[in-house]
Amino acid sequence: MKLDRRKAFLVAERDFRDAAGDLRLVLAMVGLAAVVPIVAGTGIRALAYYGGGVSLLVQRVSIVGAFFVVFLPASYSLVLALESFVGERERSTLEVLLSTPLREAEIYAGKVASVLGISLVLCFGALLVYCGVTFPGLGYFPAGILVSLAVSTICQVAAMVTGAVIVSANAKTMRAANVMASFIILPMSIVLQLEAALILVDRGELLWGFAAAMAIGAAILLRMGLGGFSREALLARETGSRNRLRRAARAVAAAYRQAPSGLALVRARSVPVLSSLVAFPVGAGLGYLAAGILPGQVMRPVLGTLLASAAGTDPAGLAVAIFLHNLLAIVLAGLLAGVSLGFTGYLLTALPGALVGYAAAVSSWGLALTGILPNGLIEVPVAAIAGGLAINIGAAVIHLEPDGGWTRRVLGAQAELAKALLWMVPLLAVAAVLEAFLSPGR
Amino acid sequence: MLEVHRLAKRYGEVLAVSDLSLSVRAGTILVLLGQNGAGKTTAMRCMSGLLKPSAGRVLVGGVDSLADPDAVRAQVGMVPEVPGLYERMSARAYLDWFGRVYELDDMTRARRISDLLELFQLSEAADRWLGTFSKGMRQKIALIRATMHWPRLVLADEPTSALDPDSARVAWGYLEGLRAGGAALVVCTHNMEEAQVLAGEIGVMARGRLLATGDLNALAHAAGLKRHRQVVERPTLEEVYLAIVGNQEEDEARPA
């Protein structure tokens, strides 16, 4: 994609000037970014002073405080991003900008850079103020965790901004965009709470995992935003939005009609199906390794209970239970594929693989693999195909194109899984009967 | 300069423009008349490279808008119906920013902005925020912004709708100057006086289609011949326009 950095900088400069041009907004942002850290830092110092020194509690709360003071200005990024995109659209300034020779990528990059720049300056400013108020004289400085916080903040703000851009591109008014932004701020606040919990239980090293997850999320959202930010999508959608429900119903019916079935479907989706199949041995390997980490006294009773309950059931009832369990797993994987971005498609094969691997570690590979025969010859391929179709749903969700068509593609991917269930259900029933009546140990 | 061949634009189920063909040579003005929703704005967005045609072709200066929309937009000056100004920028800073977008060098930009602000009697307000400007002042700024880079094709949607008569005449004079300088202009308007002052050629649009084009005499002839309707000896543009649109509505109302 062509991008003239000078022009992107021009867009960023104007947006920055626009945000900085409103003195009341600047005072509110700087004030909150400065006052909250001072109050929080003073509180920590008071806790240390009146609470009998720098206890473990003071140390951990001081780190949680750092996350808290950074999150507040980070949440500004949402407001700024929504204002920068949907605000301009609402005031009809976006059409003027789009009518210039600037490319979409330059407008997008400039706007994202401007919001990121302002938000990160506020976040790091707040962090510096907090550190300056809190730590001098306390006798400790958690440099490692604060560095991971700094990195995590960049990724977190990037994820929020890029998410907000996608929201903006799909909302016509600020009010609609604000409502849709809840889908960004709520998961982020949950992440903040999880991070705080990790610090309180002294597992700060896991924060790097959060930073990595945020970076991946931001990269996916950035790609989605860039893919969907187009003149056509922004201007044509305004008049093409009539009868949405009827159009959605028609799209569902058309997607179901047009979805290939049987071997044609497997051939068409061979890449995601194969990647789901590969997750089975990967899961087996991880399960095998996990046996050396997870304490036996935790896993053995769980497995023992499972085996005992299976042994006590009559074969017909067991077949029904296995069938329903497998069907439910596939349906859930399909339903959650969108929100998990296709991750459930990998879980569908990786989790049974992990169980086999774990069983192999506590017994032998021969015994473990024999345990899933002959039903596994049907179940594993069916799970791989269903998993592949779930991965395909996730891929459709994160794929935006300049000419639109996101809903059609997502509905099409879901229709493929729904249509495949027509022949998967009988296969699952056969596998369940085989497992209940023929598998070793029954 | 502008060649539109069988242009169609569809938004989902809505066909906004259908089978539109027209040609505007350099140094001429085409005025498009039509009711609200006639498809004028959509047609102009397609001509400016903002929207892709669903069918047909748009060529600006020989460049296909589908093949190279960036190059098309670089040749076009678009004056949308809503001025769409950045409220927290001064008029001078605003125009300077767009001048940089259009890659005018520093000296040219400064001189051009100064000249145009003076022409439109905005020099004294040049350093005020645009948010404080009146509707008419905003429209003038939008006109300056769209034309400060000497575009080869100017597309203007209701460019003087908010201007007082004196300012409108200044704007018409300015547009006429652009035409004399070799630019091609397409102006959408509901103002018949504006149409008569500006137009060499007039197009009448309804329901996404171009019903007739030509000068006033040709349009009067087309409107009169169509239904043998009695046309007054020297019809006004408004009478001709209403006759053409009326004929179209009668055609559509008549059972097949």
Model confidence, pTM: 0.77
Q: How far is Cα B71 from Cα B49, in angstroms, rounded to an integer?
A: 9
**Residue B220: inside a domain, yes or no?**
no
Return the pLDDT at A328.
Answer: 93
Question: Is the Cβ pair B11, A22 closer than 8 Å?
Answer: no
pLDDT over 50 (residue B205): yes
B102 and A100: CB-CB below 8 Å? yes
CB-defined contacts A:B, below 8 A: 83
Q: Minimal Cα–Cα distance from A417 to chain B, Å?
A: 27
- Give the pLDDT of chain A (442 residues) as one tens digit per residue: 678 889 999 999 998 888 777 788 788 888 888 888 999 999 998 988 887 777 888 888 888 888 888 888 888 888 888 888 888 888 889 889 999 999 988 999 998 899 888 888 888 899 999 999 988 888 888 888 888 888 888 888 888 888 887 777 777 777 888 887 787 888 888 888 888 888 888 787 788 888 888 888 888 888 888 877 888 877 765 554 556 677 777 777 887 888 887 788 888 888 999 999 999 999 989 988 888 776 666 666 666 666 665 566 687 888 888 899 889 999 999 999 888 888 999 999 999 898 888 888 877 787 777 777 788 888 889 999 999 999 999 888 887 776 667 777 888 888 888 888 888 999 989 988 888 877 655 5
Q: For residue B186, what are the β-bridge partners?
A: B30, B155
| Domain assignment of residue B174, yes or no | yes
Inform me whether the pLDDT recorded for B22 exceeds 80. yes
pLDDT attached to residue A97: 92
| pLDDT per residue as tens digits for the range B146-172 | 999 999 999 998 888 878 888 888 888
Give dist(CA A388, CA A267) in Å, integer. Answer: 11
Average pLDDT over residues B227-246: 63
| Greatest mean pLDDT among A113-117, A164-168, B209-213, B232-236 | A113-117
**Mean pLDDT over the full length of chain A:** 83
Average pLDDT (B13-18) is 83
How many Å apart are CA A302 and CA A300, to the nearest integer?
A: 5
In the structure encoding, which two tokens stand for residue B70, read together?
Answer: 């960036």
- Contact (Cβ atoms closer than 8 angstroms) between residue A28 and residue A75: no
Q: Of A225, A238, A227, A74, which is closest to residue A157 (Cα–Cα)?
A: A74
What pLDDT, in 10s, does the model give residues B117-127? 998 889 999 99
Q: Does any domain span residue B173? A: yes
Give the separation between CA A220 and CA A382, rounded to whole angstroms. 29
pLDDT exceeds cutoff 50 at B227: no
Q: 3-class SS at A373?
A: coil
**What sign has the CA pseudo-torsion B62, B64, B70, B75?**
positive
**What are the residue ranges spanned by the domains of chain A?**
5-236, 244-437
Domain presence at residue B252: no
For CA atoms B102, B105, B108, B111, give the dihedral sign.
positive
Average pLDDT for B235-249: 70
Q: Which of B52, B101, B142 sits opposite A232 (nearest CB)?
A: B52
Residue B256 resides in a domain: no
Range of the domain at B200: 2-84+152-214
CB-based burial of residue A238 (10 Å sphere; 0-12 exposed, 13-18 middle, 19+ buried)?
Answer: exposed
pLDDT tens column, A225-267: 887 788 887 776 555 455 667 777 777 788 788 888 778 888 8
Among A14, A95, A101, the residue with its CB nearest the CB of B84 is A95
- Kindly report, residue by residue over B167-200, the tens digit of the pLDDT: 888 888 888 888 888 889 998 888 777 777 777 7
Percentage of residues of chain B with pLDDT beyond 90: 27
Beta carbons of B82 and A240 less than 8 Å apart:
no
Report B:170-189 residues touching A (Cβ under 8 A). none
Task: Establish if B153 touches chain A: CB-CB under 8 angstroms.
Answer: no
Does the interface ipTM go beyond 0.95? no
The burial of B126, by beta-carbon neighbours within 10 Å (0-12 exposed, 13-18 middle, 19 or more buried), is given as: middle
